[in-house]
Each structure stands twice: as structure tokens, then as C-alpha cells.
Amino acid sequence: MSDTAIEGQQRKKRRFRFKAPGLSGWILISIFLGLAAGLFFGEIAGKIGFVGDAYIKLIQMTVLPYILVSLIAGIGSLSVREAGLMARKGGVWLLLIWAIGFLVILLMPLTFPKWITASFFTSSLVEAPEAVNFLDLYIPSNPFFSLSAGLIPAIVLFSLALGIALMNLESKGAIINACQTISKSLVAVSGFMVKLSPIGLFAITAAAAGTLTPSEFGRLQVYIIVFIVASLLLSLWILPSLVSAFTPFSYRDVMKRFQAPFLVAFATGNLFVVLPILIEGCKEMFREHKTKGEDADNYVDVLLPVYFNFPNLGKLLIILFILFAFWFNGSTLPLESYPSFIITGLITFFGSLDLAIPFLLDFFRLPADLYNLYIVSGVITGRFATLVGAVNLVVFTLLTTAAVTGLLKIRKIKLLVYIGALVLSLTATVAGLALFIDKTMNNPYDRDIAISTRDLYFEAVPAVVRDERPEDPPRRQFERKMLDEIFDRGVLRVGYRKNSLPWSYRNNIGELVGLDIELAHLLAGDLGVSLEFIPYEMEMIDNDLLQRRFDIAMSSILTKTYSGSHMNYTEPYMDISAAFVVPDHLRNNFESIEKIKALGFIRIGYVPGGFNLEILQTIFPRILWTEIDDMSVFFGGSRPDLDGVFASAESGSAWTLLHPEFNVSVVKPNYVRYPVSFITGGNDIEFTAYVDRWISIIKRNGQFDTMYGYWLQGKDKPEDIPPRWSVIRDVLGWIE
């Protein structure tokens, strides 16, 4: 065989030689394998979630020390002139990137379709969000506490102060060298931890894919899709292309260099863990272009950690949830509110997202319970936000460092091309996404089913339900103890109110259900007797108890400070919150006393026997209070003269599930809570004391909390929640 033929065969072998994937390749492989494992094993895969948690903790352990020493060394190495130049140049790019981000954010709501919705009651509807303590967050009165508590803004401020103090010191070399040495050591440790990424990311992805159910995200699919598209648009095109428009670095240079850390940030949902890798990657890009290496290193060491504490686009993109919340709640953000939306969002997002979102919901008078939807959506959107944040950090650092070192040049043609492409891409994305969502998303309203099909949570006792109040009262035996009578007859007679959601009402098959009905069954079961339910009206309850038509009255009765000679209030078993229930478009008009007074004279319905009408007339003198039999009168449309009804937020939330065109509005900040009790008849102190002890027991053993979550908050029974779909169960049938 000739030499030429041999060389040809060798070249052919080399051509088809298997090339082992690099770190980025292994990361992608581990993510796909994790998804496959989660789908195959389902909830079983959740058991390896601790491996992912351990990986995140390992990769986090170097970040805080790295920020501390790199900032001290980076700023201390600069002169006062260099620091001022960096601040001026960086400020320009910071504002430009924020402007681009808000442009994308404000355009995305144009893709939202029309959708009707409502939700069960949640305490966040009436509770004010926790106040943000910006002093503790940003001022390190105790730097060691800030380090242990992970207060990054405070740590950065402390590092900046030390670095600035070092600028003018002649003997700073030893300290800076020591910090640089420690920084390099931490980078080496972090680099080793990154090599473990395939293992950690496999566990994280498998656990997530195995435990999350598609139904959890059904109501959020519009927001999630829009958020993902906006994230990919920013991270894969708009931001990297901004670098190529102003610097010698190409789009390919940026994406190739940072592919692995971008993937790690996305897969872990943690931007914190890749900071050292991003910093070193930026340094290497400038070294490759032979750009004042040491100066560029110092700028990068300062810029990226400092900017980390400013709201990056990944963080700001989450403010899109507030615009989604307006749409989800059946309204839109007024055009005149856009400036306050942008400014308040920027300031608020300097802090924790877990504090910022509740604050913004409250600031814009949106239902606080929407925060629960944000938490659910964050499982997916948080990872894309982290990806955008990582790209943003790199882009800002490259642009600012290039500007300071003289590498940045404005080319008019490139700039015009970029602006034109930006406008076209945004237009095409918004139009295409709006069309896609409109044609593919089908979200019929079904929340009414959740309340109308509910049955009793615990086992029911035999019960007779009367729809009419008996004309002839039973024979009175006041000389006998109430408990003795109940045991002798073997029946506990309970007074209830009709159409009193969610306390006592008929479900879709005609069964009497509700929280207080459930409590009645539980009480009768503990007494070992059956039940007889007898309807009552609040204005007749005194006489009914005097006549002993029933032994105890239920259905969310407000506790009063007095008891009649023939009736006793038990200890309160819960509190309810006063609220207005009004059409959706009027909700914002009932959120404060001032706004309600500004409406002029309005007509509001109320069910008698509940809230103190005299006090309400004093607080709201311009409201014409109109008595109605029950809430169904208003929602049934037979009282079009009413502008709304006054009820509890708990009851109002349940009614809006059946009638989503209405909404609950709690007067803030001075919302009012009222205790509710049962009323026992016959002035029998022993029976009242028995019920008091029983209430204490069911609250201590968790039974009441279970029923509260089921009837008021809409939590399902564990047996009603189907297991997560998996191949091993639903396809192969290997497990039950």
C-alpha cells in the first residue's frame, strides 16, 4: 500500500474519531438525562433532590469570600481618577441596559389574551406585606453578621469602603497581593466545584421533573411562555449583540466563552454561584485582545461584583409578573402609572424578590394572594431570569471595561443595524407570540367547580337536613342539662344559614356542606350522636334558641360582648375580615376609606345580624345600606340597584369563585377583623364549656387547620391529588 493511501486512511480514522464532550456538553447531557429520569421515575426521582441541594451549597461556599477579597483588591488597585472614570462610563451602560430591559417588559403585556379568573381566600389578601429594612440590607453595622446572614449589598458596601480607603495608601501592596492570592485560590476551588456540575445538575433536574405536575402551571402558562420568550430574546440576542455592536468582541466570542457558566446558572437557578467564573472569563477575553491586561483585570474585579448588587435584567424581568397580575386580575396598568411602575420597580428590586413582589402587589393595590402564583411560576421562570442575569453581568462588564480601557468604538453603521434589528425583532416577537397564544391557549373558567363540587373532608355522621324552619318548637325542658337531652335523644340539633358560602351551603348534588357543617359533623361524632340541621334567620335566632328549636347555632356568627338569658357565645374559633364584594371594574374604588368617600352616594347590600351597622354608617356616611336576605340575592342579579355587598373577605372569595366577574376589596391599611363563634341555647354553661374545650382540642390537634385549608383556602384532600405522571407507573405499570 502506498504512503499516500496509508495517510488517507489515517486521516479518515482521525476524522471519525470520537471526541469526548467538554464541560458544557456534559452539562447539557446531564440536564437531558435528569429530565428523562424525572419523567420515567416520577415522584421517586424527588428522593435524590438532596444531592442537588448539596451541590448548590458546595458551589456557594466560595462566593461571599470571593466578593469580599476581589472588591477590596480591585478597588484598592485603582487610582481616584480611574475609579471616577469607571463610575461615569459604567453609569451610561447601566442606564442603557435598563432602558432596553424595560422596553421589552412593557411590550410583553401586549401578548396577553383575555381571561376570567378568581381564587379562594388567602390571608395575604388582608395582611400587609413585611416591610423592607433597607438599613439592615445595605449598611453593614456588623460586617461579620452581614457575612453570616448573606447580606450581599451590605458586604459590597463594606468591601467598597475598604477598597476606597486603600486607594491613597502607599503601603497597600501587601494587602492587595494577599487579597489577590486568596482570590485566585477561591477561583481554583470554585473551578473544581464546577466540574461536579453534571452530577449536581442531573439530581436537580431529575427531582424537579419528577415532582412538578403540569396542573400546577396550567393557570400560569401564559405568563410562563411570555417570560421564557422575553428571557431568550434578551439573553440569546439583544444583550450579546449589544457587545458586538460596540466592541471588537463578536457575538460568537461572548457565547462561546461563557456557554458553560450560562448553562450552570440556568440549571441551578443561582446567579451567585457562577460569579467567580464570569469574572475570570471577562478577564481572559481582554487578555486575548492584549488590552492593558492588569488594568482590565482590576476593572473587571470591581465592576462585576458591584453590578451584581444592582437590579440586573434577569431580576427586573420578574417585574413582568406585576403586569401579568393586572391582567390576571382583569385590569391593566394605567398609562400614567408607567413612570411610578418603572421607578418603584427599580428601587424595590435592589432588595430581595421575596419582599419586592408582595410590596409591589400592595403598592399597586393588587390581591396579595397572587404572590402564591408567583411562587409557583418561579420554579420555571427563575431559571430563565438567572440566565438573563448572567448574560447581563457579562455584557455590562465587557462594555464598561472596554469603554474605560479605550477598546470601545461607536460605529454608526453597526449601531443603526443593531437598532433596526432590535425594533424588527421586538415587533415580530410580540406579534407572533400574541397570535400563538390566542390560537393555542384555551383557558375555560373552571374555578367554580372547585367550590361547588366539594364534599365533607372527614367522615360524616347520619344527618337529617331540613330546608324549612319547624313551625312547632320541640317541648322545652329547661330543668335538664343540654348534654343529657342530646344524649337521650341521640341527636344534636344544629341551626344553620342557607347560602352562606363557605360555611354552610348546598353543593352541586344537593348535599349540605361547608366549614361549619363539617364542624357540626365532627362535634356530633365526638358526642356519639347523629345530626339534625335546622335553618334559621339571624333576626329570629334569639327566639329559636329560647324555644330550643336547636341546641347550637353555627354559620360564621360574629362574637358579641353580651349573652342573653337563654344564649351563650362560645370561645371564638376563628377570625374573619371585613370586605366589600364589587364588580371587577370597581374594585380599586373600594380599597381605602378616602376612595369610598370620593364615590359619593352608593348603595351597598348587607346580610342583617352580622357586622355592626351603626359603626359602618359612621365610617361610611355616604353609603346607603340596604338589607338583603343572603348573598345569593346580589349575585343572582335580582338587585341591580346595588353597587356591591359588605361581607367577610372569606365569604366573598368563595362567592367570586362562582361569579368571577366580581372581586373582593379589603379596605387598607386599617382592615378590620372580627371573631366568630357558635351560640349555644338554654343558658347551659356546662354545654358551652364543653364546646369551648372541644374547639381548643380540634385546634390543637390540627383538625381545624385541615378544615380551614380545605374549605377556605381551597386545598385538596391528599387522596384527591393524583400521583405525578411517570413512565414507570402510567406506561409500564411496574408500581401502583
Residue 10: pLDDT band with limits 50, 70, 90: low
Closest residue by Cα to residue 36 from 253, 167, 289, 210: 210
Question: Quick check: 363 pLDDT over 80?
Answer: no
Residue 568, beta-bridge partner list: 680
Give the pLDDT mean for 632-641: 85
The predicted-structure confidence for 232-285, as pLDDT tens digits, reads as follows 999 999 999 999 888 888 888 888 889 888 988 888 777 877 888 888 888 888
What pLDDT does residue 38 have?
Answer: 87
Residues 196 and 292 in one domain: yes
Residue 430: pLDDT band with limits 50, 70, 90: very high
Give the pLDDT mean for 373-394: 83
On whether residue 114 sits in a domain, the answer given is: no
The predicted-structure confidence for 161-201, as pLDDT tens digits, reads as follows 888 888 888 788 888 889 889 988 887 887 788 788 888 88
Q: Residues of 709-725 as b/e, b for ≥16 C-beta within 10 angstroms?
A: ebbbbbbeeeeeeeebe
Reading the block at residue 148, the C-alpha cell is 453570616
Residue 478: pLDDT band with limits 50, 70, 90: low
Residues 404 and 505 in one domain: no
Residues 6+ positions from 324 with CB-CB distance below 8 Å: 109, 112, 222, 223, 226
How many structural domains is the chain composed of? 3
Place of cell 351563650: 568
The predicted-structure confidence for 95-125, as pLDDT tens digits, reads as follows 999 999 999 999 999 998 877 777 788 776 7
Sign of CA dihedral 464, 468, 472, 474: positive
Chain-centre distance of CA 204, in angstroms? Answer: 20
Percentage of the chain surpassing pLDDT 70?
88
**Between 494 and 591, residue with greater pLDDT:** 494
What pLDDT does residue 544 have?
Answer: 83
Residue 226: pLDDT band with limits 50, 70, 90: very high
Residue 675, beta-bridge partner list: 575
Domain containing 499 equals 450-572+680-720
Residue 570 — φ and ψ, nearest 5°? -75, 175
Residues 183 and 228 in one domain: yes
Residues 617 and 709 in one domain: no
Residues 358 and 234 in one domain: yes
Of 386, 409, 432, the position where a domain reaches its end is 409
On whether residue 106 sits in a domain, the answer given is: no
| C-alpha–C-alpha distance, residues 707 and 454, integer Å | 12
Residue 454 — φ and ψ, nearest 5°? -70, 140
Residue 311: pLDDT band with limits 50, 70, 90: confident
Residue 652: pLDDT band with limits 50, 70, 90: very high
Closest residue by Cα to residue 261 from 277, 272, 245: 277
CA distances from 705 to 273, 487, 651, 679, 699 (A): 39, 28, 17, 21, 7
CB-count exposure of residue 549 (10 Å: 0-12, 13-18, 19+):
buried
| 3-class SS of residue 357 | helix
CA distances from 274 to 209, 259, 334, 462 (A): 23, 12, 39, 63
What pLDDT does residue 396 have?
Answer: 92
What pLDDT does residue 700 have?
Answer: 94
| C-alpha–C-alpha distance, residues 646 and 607, integer Å | 8
Instruction: Answer whether 94's CB lies under 8 Å from 396's CB.
Output: yes
Residues 161 and 255 in one domain: yes
Residue 552, beta-bridge partner list: 494, 680
| 3-class SS of residue 734 | coil
The predicted-structure confidence for 48-58, as pLDDT tens digits, reads as follows 888 888 887 88
On whether residue 228 sits in a domain, the answer given is: yes
Strands (E), 570-688: 574-583, 602-606, 623-627, 644-648, 662-665, 673-681
On whether residue 107 sits in a domain, the answer given is: no
CA–CA–CA angle 210, 211, 213 (5° rounding): 105
| C-alpha–C-alpha distance, residues 265 and 277, integer Å | 11
What pLDDT does residue 7 have?
Answer: 59
Place of cell 346595588: 642
Q: What is the CATH number of the domain that holds 505?
A: 3.40.190.10
Closest residue by Cα to residue 664 from 21, 114, 125: 125
Residue 684: pLDDT band with limits 50, 70, 90: confident
Reading the block at residue 150, the C-alpha cell is 448573606
Question: Quick check: 655 pLDDT over 70?
Answer: yes
Sign of CA dihedral 74, 76, 79, 80: positive
| C-alpha–C-alpha distance, residues 639 and 17, integer Å | 81
Instruction: Answer whether 634's CB lies under 8 Å from 605's CB.
Output: yes
Question: Quick check: 376 pLDDT over 80?
Answer: no
Reading the block at residue 279, the C-alpha cell is 469574572
Residue 623, beta-bridge partner list: 602
Instruction: Answer whether 97's CB lies under 8 Å from 307's CB.
Output: no
Residues 716 and 668 in one domain: no
| C-alpha–C-alpha distance, residues 46 and 34, integer Å | 11
Reading the block at residue 536, the C-alpha cell is 334559621
Residues 54 and 198 in one domain: yes
CA–CA–CA angle 264, 266, 272 (5° rounding): 70
**Between 690 and 479, residue with greater pLDDT:** 690
Give the pLDDT mean for 426-450: 85
Residues 6+ positions from 675 with CB-CB distance below 8 Å: 558, 559, 572, 574, 575
Peptide bond connecting 214 to the previous residue in cis, omega within 30 degrees of 0: no
Residues 167 and 187 in one domain: yes
Instruction: Answer whether 329's CB lies under 8 Å from 361's CB.
Output: no
Residues 148 and 78 in one domain: yes
Residue 695: pLDDT band with limits 50, 70, 90: very high
On whether residue 15 sits in a domain, the answer given is: no
Residues 649 and 552 in one domain: no
What pLDDT does residue 651 have?
Answer: 92
On whether residue 109 sits in a domain, the answer given is: no
What pLDDT does residue 88 have?
Answer: 84
On whether residue 6 sits in a domain, the answer given is: no
Instruction: Answer whether 501's CB lies under 8 Å from 508's CB.
Output: no
**DSSP state, residue 721:** S
Instruction: Answer whether 358's CB lies under 8 Å from 364's CB.
Output: no
Question: Quick check: 609 pLDDT over 80?
Answer: no
**Between 400 and 721, residue with greater pLDDT:** 400
Of 379, 409, 439, the position where a domain reaches its end is 409
What pLDDT does residue 187 have?
Answer: 79
Question: Quick check: 130 pLDDT over 70?
Answer: no
What pLDDT does residue 209 have?
Answer: 76
Q: What is the CATH number of the domain that holds 291?
A: 1.10.3860.10
pTM (2 decimals)? 0.70
Instruction: Answer whether 192's CB lies under 8 Å from 396's CB.
Output: no
| 3-class SS of residue 605 | strand
| C-alpha–C-alpha distance, residues 603 and 612, integer Å | 17
Sign of CA dihedral 704, 710, 714, 715: positive
On whether residue 610 sits in a domain, the answer given is: yes
Residue 669: pLDDT band with limits 50, 70, 90: low
Of 675, 706, 729, the position where a domain reaches its end is 675
Residues 372 and 348 in one domain: yes
Reading the block at residue 268, the C-alpha cell is 441551578
| Residue type for position 183 | S
Instruction: Answer whether 118's CB lies under 8 Å from 656's CB.
Output: yes
The top-scoring range by mean pLDDT among 2-6, 288-292, 542-546 is 542-546
| Residue type for position 8 | G
Q: Residues of 417-444 as b/e, b for ≥16 C-beta within 10 angstroms?
A: ebeeebeeebeebbeebbeebeeeeeee
What pLDDT does residue 213 have?
Answer: 62
Reading the block at residue 678, the C-alpha cell is 357558635
Give the pLDDT mean for 505-523: 95
What pLDDT does residue 116 have?
Answer: 73
| 3-class SS of residue 310 | coil
What pLDDT does residue 476 have?
Answer: 58
What pLDDT does residue 712 have?
Answer: 93
For 291, how many CA atoms within 13 A lie in the half-sphere containing its CB? 24
Instruction: Answer whether 498's CB lies under 8 Å from 607's CB.
Output: no
Q: Rounded mean pLDDT of the chain? A: 83
